Amino acid sequence: MKSVICLFLLLQFVLFPPFGPAFCADTPPAPTIPLTSETAAHRPHIEIPQPAHDLGTVTADREFEHTFTFRNTGTAVLEIDKVVVG
């Protein structure tokens, strides 16, 4: 019975999201910039020489630290919104 209720609530949320397009109909879409050769040339570009690091065997009694270096080789400002570890 719990699985049926969970499935119903999940479908209700997916089919009728509380903050979906129907609730945001008055909000205009974000402006888009057409991609031309000029705008394509003015973009950020991240360069990461070593994108991964192997820590080897990880044990609870040791601390690990590694610094990743990166550089913006593009011509626009590089904004990093989110970093995911894993």
Phi–psi pair at 8, nearest 5 degrees: -60, -45
List CB contacts of 79: < 8 A, sequence separation 6 or more: 44
User: Is 57 part of a structural domain of the chain?
Assistant: no
Residue 1 lies in a domain: yes
Position 21 in a domain: yes
Residue 44 located in a structural domain: no
Could you tell me if residue 31 is inside a domain? no
Q: For 13-80, give the DSSP string.
A: HHHS-TTSTTTTTTSPPPP-----HHHHHS---EE-S-------S--TT---------EE-SSS----
Does 4 fall in a domain? yes
pLDDT in tens, the chain (86 residues): 555 454 555 555 555 555 544 444 566 666 676 667 666 678 899 999 998 888 888 888 988 888 989 999 999 999 989 888 76
pTM of structure: 0.44
Give the model's pLDDT for residue 4: 47
Q: Which domain holds residue 1?
A: 1-25
Whether residue 32 lies inside any domain: the answer is no
Number of domains in the chain: 1
Q: Do the domain assignments include residue 13?
A: yes
